[in-house]
Amino acid sequence: MWLNEKNVIESAIYVYRNSLKRACPKHIVIDGLFNQTNLDEVIKVLQQPCAWQTQKHTYNALYVDNAQWQKANHEQRFVKRDVWQRDAISAKTTVTNNLHSNIAHEFLSYLRGNEFMSLLSRIFKVSLTDMNVAEPEINTNFFRLGPNDFVAEHADDSPGREVCMLLYLNKDWNPNDGGELVFIGKNDGPIHISPLHNRCVLFDPSSTGSEHWVKPLISEYADKYRYNVTSWYWSE
Q: Residues near 77 by Cβ (< 8 Å), separated by ≥ 6?
A: 56, 57, 58, 59, 69, 150, 152
Quote the pLDDT of residue 222.
65
Query: What is the phi-psi region of residue 123: left when phi exceeds 0, alpha when psi lies from -120 to 50, beta otherwise?
Result: alpha
Mean pLDDT of 149-177: 93
Residues above pLDDT 70, as percent of the chain: 92
Strand ranges in the chain using DSSP code E only, listed in sequence order: 27-31, 52-58, 77-84, 92-95, 98-101, 140-145, 150-154, 161-168, 181-186, 189-193, 199-203, 212-214, 226-234
Res. 206 pLDDT band, cuts 50 70 90: very high
Each domain of the chain, given as residue ranges in start order, spans 5-234
Architecture field, domain 5-234? Sandwich (2.60)
Res. 16 pLDDT band, cuts 50 70 90: very high
Quote the pLDDT of residue 92.
46
pLDDT at residue 192 is higher than 50: yes
Res. 99 pLDDT band, cuts 50 70 90: very low
- The pLDDT mean for the chain works out to 91
